[in-house]
Amino acid sequence: MKVCPACQFHNREGLYFCDDCGSPLFGDQEEVTITVPFTQKLNNNSAPPAVIQEIKNVTPVGTTVLKSTTVLVVKFKQAGQEVRLEPQTEIVFGRSDSTSQTYPDLDLTPYGALDCGVSRTHAAIRRKDNSLMLVDLNSTNGTFINGQQIPPEQPHIIRDGDEIQFGKLVANIYFKS
């Protein structure tokens, strides 16, 4: 468990941001203590040997495997709401628009999509065997996984707990069995 330094919420391992308040968890770093040998003789009033803190980069890894009972939970940070979805061959994310007859599988409008720059057909999650792939559908403002923009039309694997960003709309995706 990772404890949020801002609100003390207990988060699952592998998250970059607190599920409760959205503060960074520094999940990509691990603190390691290294004891440095001290060669001088210490008297009883002296401080103990120096300890140096070193930061190592560690990539948190959630599972990529979907079970037959897996349900996707998409949790929207700005709106503080979540949506449960059955994994399908393809789930299109975007904004509904009756004028252009655009109706994505998951309409992100109730979660602030228009203000966050979400395109009408922004991105899709595609099932491939027992895993999920995120594909940007040539959106105007981009699609990101854990802060990294993905190129349009190039599938990228999704892991449990990943942060997905549609334009500026931020969500986390979880695999629940």
Q: Is the pLDDT confidence value at 28 over 50?
A: no
Tell which CATH classification among 2.60.120.10, 1.10.10.60, 2.60.200.20, 1.25.40.80 matches the domain 71-176: 2.60.200.20
Nearest alpha-carbon partner for 60 in 20, 9, 24: 24
Per-residue model confidence (pLDDT) at position 63: 81
CA dist 74 and 76 (Å) reads 6
Mean pLDDT in residue range 14-38 = 57
More confident residue, 22 or 31: 22
- The answer, yes or no, to whether residue 52 has pLDDT greater than 50, is no
Domain boundaries, given as residue ranges, for the chain: 1-28, 71-176
Cβ-based burial of 20 (10 A; exposed 0-12, middle 13-18, buried ≥19): middle
pLDDT for 127: 92
User: Which of 31-35, 139-143, 152-156 is predicted least confidently?
Assistant: 31-35
**The predicted structure's pLDDT at residue 102:** 94
Q: With pLDDT > 90 as the criterion, what percentage of the chain qualifies?
A: 54
Phi, psi of 119 (to 5 degrees): -75, 165
* Tokens read off for 99: 């004028």
pLDDT band at 2 (very low <50, low <70, confident <90, very high): confident
pLDDT at 145: 95
Residue type, 75: K
Amino acid 12: pLDDT: 73
Q: What was the pLDDT predicted at 54? A: 44
**pLDDT higher than 80, residue 68:** yes
Per-residue tokens: 168: 């500026």
CB-CB contact of 134 with 97 (8 Å): no
DSSP string, the chain: -EE-TTT--EEPTT-SB-TTT--B--TTEEEEEEEPP--SPP-TTSPPPPEEEEEEE-------PPPTT-EEEEEETTTTEEEEE---SEEEEE--BTTTTB--SEE-GGGTTTTTT--TT-EEEEEETTEEEEEE-S-SS-EEETTEEPPBT--EE--TT-EEEETTEEEEEEEE-
85-127 per-position pLDDT tens digit = 988 899 999 999 999 999 999 999 999 999 999 999 999 999 9
